[in-house]
Structure 1
Amino acid sequence: MELSIGLPANPTSSQTGTFYFAYGSNLSPEQMAGRCPEYPATSSIPVAIARLDGWRWIICGRGYANVVPSPRRSPQSGVAPKLKSRSESDQDGEHDQHPHPATAPASDVEQKADSPGTFHEDDDSSVVWGLIYNLTAGSESILDGYEGHHTYRNPTPTPNPSPDAEEVRRKPFLQGTWDYNKLYLPVRVTKWLQDPVTYGVVGSKSYAPEARSKSENADQAAEMETGITALVYVDELRTSPGPVKPEYVGRMNRAIRQSVELGIPRGWVERVMRRWIVEGVEVGERGYLGRSDGHWKGDEYRTDGETINQD
């Protein structure tokens, strides 16, 4: 895409590309390598495990993953909230009831509000976990197509009219007819999988396989984190939960499997993603990557070895 007019040379924290926060099927490095075949040695390498605070993971009305602002805190504040450990939450009596995530309606999984700027490390309504990739310009353009953010979807995008320069930096354009808008949001890296110095990020304490395991409490864990700015594809128009597209389930299971192996919290996956993404459904076509021209109706998927065509 060539929509860089008015944008800073690098709106994310990477000095060698674009930091991209993946939270859907691109949690699969295998899919990323297939989508960016010209840059597999760079754009498909997971750089870090990260957390997007103040947002909630859903399957939206289009049938694909989306993140929506949590009602508990404005995502625009960019202030790292105070973490509470599970033991502290239990002392507050906030984990007495846990509706089964696969059956409970969205309203039932909301947690009661705390003081502003505070959430629990296991509070699913206020956090989205994802992987950070470092995109080349070519890879970013390719992903724009997959995310329905290409020029032919919105030939004349409207610049953000906000008088607030920080808000314009965060969201340069209005979504218009794109499937997803491109936002530049603060995320918290909890573990670097690659040396952050490679990307121009210095001073991080979390680049060591044992770094997180040595943190004994929430305060120590927070000290190990690194705040960065990353590109996040967000559908700002379809913010209500909806049924998942059948073809997406297999790709999400692949993404879940691969990202959990890298360090995405399994418990969060089970409580949040599994409300929509049932186990046992796999990608119908080996290496299927989704449509490169954005999201669409229908595809094929496999369950118990059988290929099914969906309209």
Structure 2
Amino acid sequence: MSSNAKTLYFGYGSNLCKQQMYVRCPENKFLGTARLADWRWIINTSGYANIVPSQGDEVWALVYELSPADEDKLDIFEGVPDSYVKQTIPVEYYGKTGYGETRDGNWMVDALVYVDVERVTEGPPKTEYIRRMNAAIVDALAEGISKTYIEKYLRPCIPGQESSRSRSS
């Protein structure tokens, strides 16, 4: 792989928030959505999102194209290798054409996924992470990730901020 090669990144936690991604990785290019079958989204004991293998479940994400410089920056934000490790995993891709190949009728791409392989049990979210995840959920819904997915996997861990907004009005 050349030093100028782009990486496709599967952002499933607070990196569903496009503004956060532009701050962290200013050269990124948003491409679309993707699904990873047989994995499940959780908040782990560190208080942040993680994914774990889980037959019959799924994880949805936004896919970004990253430059090598942006990938290096994201490694720092994600705490590689102490918090997360980098894995390349094939995902079903629903984005701009010109990426991936068809397999079983679906477009597939090999995507960079950050996975915490040490902390795989569930825990409560960090308070600051709830705010960031609520912004991420807004972008996920706007880009076509279903409300059903959000309600089934993310909302049990991430309370909405509607109640706090209505009290402050």
Q: Which residue of 2 aligns with 1:23?
A: 12
Q: Aligned equivalents of 2:100 and 2:89: distance in 1?
A: 19
More helix by share: 2
CA displacement 1:237-271 (0-9 Å, x = unmatched): 00000000000001100000011111111111011
1:35 aligns with 2:19: no
**Of the candidates 22, 32, 52, which is equivalent to residue 48 of structure 1?**
32
Q: Aligned equivalents of 2:166 and 2:116: distance in 1?
A: 33
**Of the candidates 274, 284, 288, which is equivalent to residue 155 of structure 2?**
274
Q: Residue type of the partner of 2:33?
A: I
Preserved CA contact (<8 Å) 2:41 2:59: yes
Q: What displacement does 1:135 show?
A: 0.3
Q: What displacement does 1:46 show?
A: 2.0
**Of the candidates 162, 176, 184, which is equivalent to residue 88 of structure 2?**
184
CA displacement 1:216-238 (0-9 Å, x = unmatched): xxxxxx73x20111000000000
Q: What displacement does 1:304 show?
A: 3.6
Q: What displacement does 1:280 show?
A: 1.0
Change (3 A) 1:202 1:179: closer
Secondary structure at 1:46 match in 2:
strand
Counterparts of 1:245-264 in structure 2 under 5 Å?
Answer: 245-264=126-145
CA displacement 1:94-140 (0-9 Å, x = unmatched): xxxxxxxxxxxxxxxxxxxxxxxxx4xxxxxx210111100000100
Secondary structure at 1:227 match in 2:
strand
Q: Percent identity?
A: 39
Across the two proteins, how many residue pairs are aligned to each other?
164
**Structure 1: 5+ residue stretches without partners:** 1-8, 73-118, 120-125, 150-174, 205-221, 282-302, 307-311
More strand by share: 2
Q: Which residue of 1 aligns with 2:48?
A: 64
Q: TM-score, normalised by structure 1?
A: 0.50
Q: TM-score, normalised by structure 2?
A: 0.89
Q: Aligned equivalents of 1:144 and 1:62: distance in 2?
A: 17
